[in-house]
Amino acid sequence: MIREVAWRVFAGEYNESTCVFSEGGERAPSYVVTPLGAKVNRLLVVGVITEVENIASEEEPMWRARLSDPTGTFYLSAGQYQPEAAQQLSKLKPPAFVAVMGKSRVHSPQEGTLYVSIRPEMVKEVSEELRDFWVLEASRSLRERINANKESNQMDPLTKEGLVALGYGDNLAEGIVLARQHYGAVDVERFSSMLIDSLRYLLPEYREAPEVKEEPVSEEKEEQETVVMELIESLDKDGKGASWEDILKGAKKAGLKKEDLEETANSLLDKGLVYEPVLGRMRKI
């Protein structure tokens, strides 16, 4: 069997993926297809590990971790079937610059809901310089997909063969066709902004945090945060976190709109008042 290429893809693109593709057959690999057409079976990502936790037992540990890049957060999990990666995760002391080689993984708790993560094969602490080099490589890869999508928008009909004739590889050409079938027309400019921000992140002056005056939190926002915190705490029956589906239902009963719930949840995450022990669950710290 041919070893799959390890894609350099940013979390901001990978986490938006809702398309899973398999060529069929018992041993055929499955792929997560990103909105820009990266057909991902394996990834090489580098960023900052911000959290590592054993969510199982000491005898049979299951390690979960969060790894941040300039665009978002990757979610990792490794247990008894990935003993080397699990051991490597257990030794990390966040925050740390880390390189992860792993396979794409999907979790669908219900129809229409899909979460993506990474099942690590290799985890290694690295230097800040290597992280910066990865950001540059991931930016080059992102730029190629952006350009390919712009050209694909001019094609009627859009075909894999047509993209290959323009000089793009088979994997990307096929991925763009699959992505178009699943996602429809993609807002390429939004990903162009992601590319600019990622490259700007490499500039020393961009990393110097400017002084920011914190805006006072409105009374309405405070009330919404209180409602969501109480929901998360009350719905966490087993200490493993409240499921996002249950939080959504509870928020609706409380008269909270979905967009307000998402904004409030992100605010609580940023403040460190709650965290995600696993994808799709939230727990009070």
SS3 for 35?
coil
**CB half-sphere exposure, 162, CA atoms < 13 A:** 13
Domains in the chain, ordered, with CATH? 1-204 (2.40.50.140), 219-284 (1.10.10.10)
d(CA 123, CA 131): 13
Q: How many CB atoms neighbour CB 140 within 10 A?
A: 12
Model pTM greater than 0.75? Answer: no
CA 92 from chain centre, in angstroms, equals 20
Query: What is the model's pLDDT at position 44?
Result: 97
Cα-Cα-Cα-Cα dihedral sign, residues 266, 267, 270, 276 = negative
Interval 15-71: pLDDT, tens: 999 999 987 766 778 999 999 999 999 999 999 998 999 988 888 889 999 999 999
Mean of the pLDDT values across residues 181-190? 93
Does residue 277 have a pLDDT over 90? no
Query: What is the model's pLDDT at position 214?
Result: 47
Q: What is the chain's mean pLDDT, rounded?
A: 88
E strands in 70-174: 72-78, 96-110, 113-125
Interval 237-250: pLDDT, tens: 887 788 888 998 99
Closest C-alpha among 208, 276, 213, 282 to residue 242: 282
Query: What is the model's pLDDT at position 110?
Result: 72
